[in-house]
A and B are shown apart, each in its own frame.
Chain A
Amino acid sequence: MAYGTKVLDHYENPRNVGSFDKNDPSIGTGMVGAPACGDVMKLQIRVNDEGVIEEARFKTYGCGSAIASSSLLTEWVKGKTLEEAGRIKNTDIAEELALPPVKIHCSVLAEDAIKAAIADYRKKSGDSADAA
């Protein structure tokens, strides 16, 4: 299948690949999988005290569209508040990358990954507040 130029760019030069320490309280980790193609995606965010995402990292084992979707997302969420980042829709990602209909589920995966990372961060910061 022919990939669009933006997908190829992110696939060949993925941004923000890597990992943070998932036990660090300022880190939120989202781990999701797409059974349709067996893709696995891990997305992590580093959040400051103001609730702003300072950095994001991803690791994705999957097709070009899944890698491009997560790479793009790490660029988009940087500097956003958790609320703003939580409003990113898979359709925004699919549109930006011009994903064909059969690859829409890759953008769904990315949206679900950021939602899971935000939920994980909130759960951790809530838990530590309770403990304090």
Chain B
Amino acid sequence: MADNHFELFGLPVGYQVDERELARRHRELMSACHPDRFAQGSAQERRLAVQKSAALNEALKVLRDPIARARYLLELAGVSTEEETDTVMDPAFLVQQMEWREALEAGHEDPAQMASLTQEWAALMAAKEQELAGQLAAGAAGHAQARRLVRELQFLRRFGDELDEARLEI
């Protein structure tokens, strides 16, 4: 078995992933362990094929999502993002997140307000993702900042979902 999700697909360990190549290799490897191929095989062969396809799907889920991929890279390096237990965040960041949510609550029916919030959100999301790529490229020296960015991006992703929901309700 491969040591990590990247190796499973024969990809180099790193934040930059060619998503089309990832999807292509996933398809290829999945077809190699398709249950039909093992219809005549032993119970053990069938079980291994099922395990392999589950591992491939799990690995794909992690690698194609930039936040999950970054979290996984940190995990491989022994850095935990402690998203369930560590609630201490940069106060200025939290104030901004609170203000955005208040603005959305008050202005979700106002198209101009929605447009400006969406724009602000998209710009910050892009900036933080870019910063995350830079910190992860720096190796161990960038781990503390990368950990902070993964944690902050979770709030931004959640806010993005809330913007989508608000748009659907208009």
Do residues A32 and B94 form an inter-chain contact, with CB atoms below 8 A?
yes
Complex interface residues of chain B between 128 and 161 (CB less than 8 A to chain A):
150-152, 154-159
User: What's the interface size class on A, roughly?
Assistant: 10 to 19
Do residues A38 and B154 form an inter-chain contact, with CB atoms below 8 A?
yes
Total A-B Cβ pairs within 8 A: 58
Complex interface residues of chain A between 15 and 71 (CB less than 8 A to chain B):
31-40, 42, 59, 61
When A38-B157, A38-B158, A40-B155 are in contact, do A32 and B87 touch as well, CB less than 8 Å?
A: yes
Do residues A108 and B94 form an inter-chain contact, with CB atoms below 8 A?
no
Q: Given B87, B91, B150, B155, which contacts A108 in the complex, CB threshold below 8 Å? A: B87
Do residues B98 and A105 form an inter-chain contact, with CB atoms below 8 A?
no
Asked if A109 is an interface residue, CB under 8 A from chain B, the answer is yes
Do residues B157 and A42 form an inter-chain contact, with CB atoms below 8 A?
no
Q: Which of B23-31, B36-44, B77-85 contacts A (4 or more CB under 8 A)?
A: B77-85
Closest 5 CB pairs between A and B?
A: A38-B158, A35-B83, A35-B151, A32-B87, A61-B101
Residues on A lying within 8 angstroms of B by beta carbon are: 31-40, 42, 59, 61, 104-105, 108-109, 112-113
